[in-house]
Amino acid sequence: MAVKPFRRFLRGPGKYAQAILRWKRLSFNDAPPIFGNSKPKSGSHLLLQILNGFTRIMPYKYVEAEPVRTIEKKGRRKTEAEILSELKQIPQGVIGWGYVEASLENVAFLCQPYRVNYFMYRDPRDMLVSQVFFATDMHEEHGMHEFYKSLPDFGERLKVAITGIDQDGLYMVGVRQRYAAVFEWLDREHVMCIRFEDLINNRDATLDAMLDEVESIGYKIPTPREKALSILVKAIQPRKSHTFRSGKTGGWREHFTKEYKDLFKDVTGDLLVKLGYEKDNDW
């Protein structure tokens, strides 16, 4: 067995043992099931750090090491049955996370009154910039890595990220289609939708609202609120994420020239207005 898979194999029992010592219990059935969901390159690792903080303020065993993905790292799209099976395999007392679309099967399983769901999304312009940098410079196995590297500069890569591509066996949807799935979650009951920007710019109030969401189903968090918030704040350390680049909001302004703004507007229409990031298309 390779070193990394072996470590993953040991991780669950090791984290479970730590939880037993921390909470002085063997059973972890009291706290509600939690699933943290996100659009890729929209702050998922920030959300993951918060979920790990949850294990120190509520009796959970640990947070799953691997996310539930809609699309595999190599680009294959999983079947709905495969995704649902992975969701159902998350052990009781373990917090799950991933990149899951709002299919009928996923919604039926996750969006139930006794469960807590978070869905994080981000300004599409910042998401695009992050995705281009990530695929080009940080993740050589990304499906767009070779193609992006073949383009002369960042601007040409950004154009492709905005419009999408379908040529020579290479396929990626445009930004408007990517965000169609976001609206599916925004309209669902039993899902707290969180903007990445609110966690960065209005951190404490957003964390407080996340804790309120847990208690809204009738569960009482055993850690006093002030202490719980302090623990969560300390858990947020963006630079510890292997995908960290800048961790700021509004960075798109450094990269979007008038040409890219016009292209984005042509492709997305009123997307930013619907998401609440702009009042109109005059930006």
Could you tell me the CA-to-CA distances from 7 to 10, 12, 222, 247 in Å, in that order?
5, 9, 31, 29
Nearest to 51 by CA among 232, 257, 201: 232
Paired tokens of 213:
């969401």
Nearest to 86 by CA among 44, 37, 28, 127: 37
3-state secondary structure of 37: strand
> What is the chain's pLDDT, residue by residue, as a tens digit (283 residues)?
444 455 555 677 889 999 999 999 999 999 999 999 998 878 898 999 999 999 999 999 999 999 999 988 777 889 999 999 999 999 999 999 999 999 999 999 999 999 999 999 999 999 999 889 988 876 566 667 788 888 888 989 999 999 999 888 788 889 999 898 889 999 899 999 999 999 999 999 999 999 999 999 999 999 999 999 999 999 998 766 544 445 578 999 999 999 999 999 999 999 999 999 999 999 9
Specify the pTM: 0.88
